[in-house]
Amino acid sequence: MTSESGSPRGEQTATQTAPYLVISGGHRLAGEVVVSGAKNSALALMAAALLTTDGCRLRNVPDLTDIRTMGAILESLGVRVRPGGPHTLDIDARFLAVHRAPYELVNTLRASFFILGPLLARLGMARIPLPGGCAIGARPVDLHVRGLAAMGAEVRIEHGMVEARVRRLRGARIYLDYPSVGATETIMMAATLAEGETIIENAAQEPEVVDLANFCRAMGARIRGAGSKTIVVSGVPKLHAADYTVIPDRIEAGTFLTAAAITGSTLRLAPVIPDHLGAAIAKLRDIGLHVASVRPDCLEISADRPLVAVDIETLPFPGFPTDLQAPFMSLLAVSDGTSIISETVFENRLMHVPELNRLGADIRVRSGHAIVRGVPRLSGAPVTATDLRAAAALVIAGLAAQGTTTVNGLHHLDRGYDGFAAKLKAVGARIERIAPTPAAEADPNCEHPPSEPARSVVAGADPAPITAS
Ligand code: EPU
């Protein structure tokens, strides 16, 4: 077992084989954090690169297990995925020939379902395993499937497989019952090469949808209205090469804002697009934090007042993001008064509550709402992450807890935060990643890395090498 600095290892068992974090809480942070590229943009953009026979270059790609898994899925289809420099991926789908995605990989990454639309548009057929439910909810794909069917695809779901065929997709007017990010992205990608015009009504307005539209436009697609409720795509016969930079990760930035807030720190974050963080910044101000842009791409947060309770309801963008619900719960756990957090996007995204309570929080769940009674302080304990954002929330709580917190289940964290512990350490957090003997972590949930981690496809990306995940 190795420790980076010989710091206390927390109360781990002698048989511990998976990596974990040890956090000594109660220390202020200071400095500037470099925000990585957005995971959920990069994953969609990687799928969109299948839409052209020319090579594409994606820059500012975060080094994450999810990105590696997506790279492995693309390679299984005959696509060449290579690092093109730090945080840069070159994707060449000229020899895309395979229309079936392997179950073992799709099962580990729901976002891999994004390849359905591009495969159908390029090859006229696709066979993708149903991604299934996962820890945070059932996560059906009916809206993706109905959208493609409206565009003329014959879609059958049998034996856990989605099988779709079409001679050429044709434009359609598609109303989404819910502004699903994934369904909007699937339909938008498919529509770029369809015959005629596709109108997506009640589309998702998330910044990642806009980023995908911008990348497709850089490839020659004709898309209007991305970022509004109605997206219009006029199909073109062919897309071409593009060199494109992924937007900064608003969820990573929001998570660091909660890290600063809970530790009473002043911290700068860059690069960020402040408009992408509107709801989170508004809530932080209500809680008592000072948040200001010090440069157009740099936010500074400072804490000089007591924190007070606020209510939060997660909603599609521009509402409060579900992906920041868990880190904000950690913050509200030590804010004065009672906060009600309502998770409306995913039906099972409050699993971090018992773990936060292990750290001394006072949170009860009633009918999908978390009732958070602020406590004066948290106290360190061993805890285990159940999903990606829960992992971040436990680290945030550990930064404020008295004593030592050990966070297990880091394969969740590694899916979505590039060098999280190293970035926190660089701004003064007392946090160590302990890497026992490498061993695969078994977890039945969906979004987690395969037991054999796929090799890194992003060169020189991680300031803190992941020794086992
Ligand atoms: N939904 C349906 N039918 C569908 C699609 C979605 O009922 O066909 C429901 C879902 O079950 C869910 C709601 O609609 O209750 C929202 O799902 P959405 O499709 O918007 O989410 P997603 O595309 O599956 C992406 C992000 C999530 C993020 C959500 C919401 C990626 C790879 N994932 O998921 O990110 O929480 O949008 O913003 O883009 C994360 O990064 O931790 C994460 C879970």
pLDDT band at 14 (very low <50, low <70, confident <90, very high): low
Least confident range from 109-113, 170-174, 186-190, 277-281: namely 109-113
Amino acid 458: pLDDT = 54
pLDDT band at 436 (very low <50, low <70, confident <90, very high): confident
Mean pLDDT confidence for 123-146: 86
CB 142 near ligand 1, within 6 Å: yes
Single-letter residue type at 62: P
Residue with CA closest to ligand 1 atom 10: 139
Mean pLDDT of the chain: 90
CB 205 near ligand 1, within 6 Å: no
Amino acid 468: pLDDT = 24
Q: For the chain, give every residue range classified as CATH 3.65.10.10.
A: 20-35+259-442, 39-245
Amino acid 388: pLDDT = 95
CB 416 near ligand 1, within 6 Å: yes
At 320-342, the pLDDT tens digits run 999 999 999 999 999 999 999 99
Instruction: Write down the CATH superfamily of domain 39-245.
Output: Enolpyruvate transferase domain (3.65.10.10)
Probe residue for ligand 1, chosen from 65, 155, 176, 178 as the CB with the greatest number of ligand atoms within 8 Å: 178
The CA 345 to ligand 1 mean position distance, Å, reads: 8
Query: Does the pLDDT of residue 459 top 80, yes or no?
Result: no
pLDDT band at 452 (very low <50, low <70, confident <90, very high): very low
Q: What's the rounded Cα separation, in Å, for the pair 324 and 198?
A: 32
Residues identified as active-site: 134
Write down the residue that tokens 């948040």 correspond to.
291
CB 141 near ligand 1, within 6 Å: yes
Contact between 349 and 312 (Cβ < 8 Å): no
Upper half-sphere CA count for residue 384 (Cβ side, 13 Å):
8
Amino acid 304: pLDDT = 84
At 176-217, the pLDDT tens digits run 999 999 999 999 999 999 999 999 999 999 999 999 999 999
Amino acid 36: pLDDT = 98
The CA 409 to ligand 1 mean position distance, Å, reads: 22
Instruction: Write down the CATH superfamily of domain 20-35+259-442.
Output: Enolpyruvate transferase domain (3.65.10.10)
Mean pLDDT confidence for 111-140: 88
Query: Does the pLDDT of residue 40 top 70, yes or no?
Result: yes
* Strand arrangement, sheet containing 197-201: 173-175, 197-201, 230-234, 222-224
Q: What's the rounded Cα separation, in Å, for the pair 412 and 344?
A: 22
At 230-240, the pLDDT tens digits run 999 999 999 99
H or E stretch covering 250: helix 250-262
Mean pLDDT confidence for 339-347: 95
Q: How many angstroms separate the Cα of 368 from the Cα of each of 247, 342, 351?
A: 32, 6, 11
Amino acid 108: pLDDT = 86
The CA 264 to ligand 1 mean position distance, Å, reads: 32
Query: Does the pLDDT of residue 443 top 90, yes or no?
Result: no
Amino acid 1: pLDDT = 36
- Ligand 1 atom closest to 136 (CA): 44
Query: Does the pLDDT of residue 132 top 70, yes or no?
Result: no
Q: What percent of the chain is helix, strand and coil (3-state, nearest 5)? A: 30, 25, 40
Residue with CA closest to ligand 1 atom 17: 180
Query: Does the pLDDT of residue 406 top 50, yes or no?
Result: yes
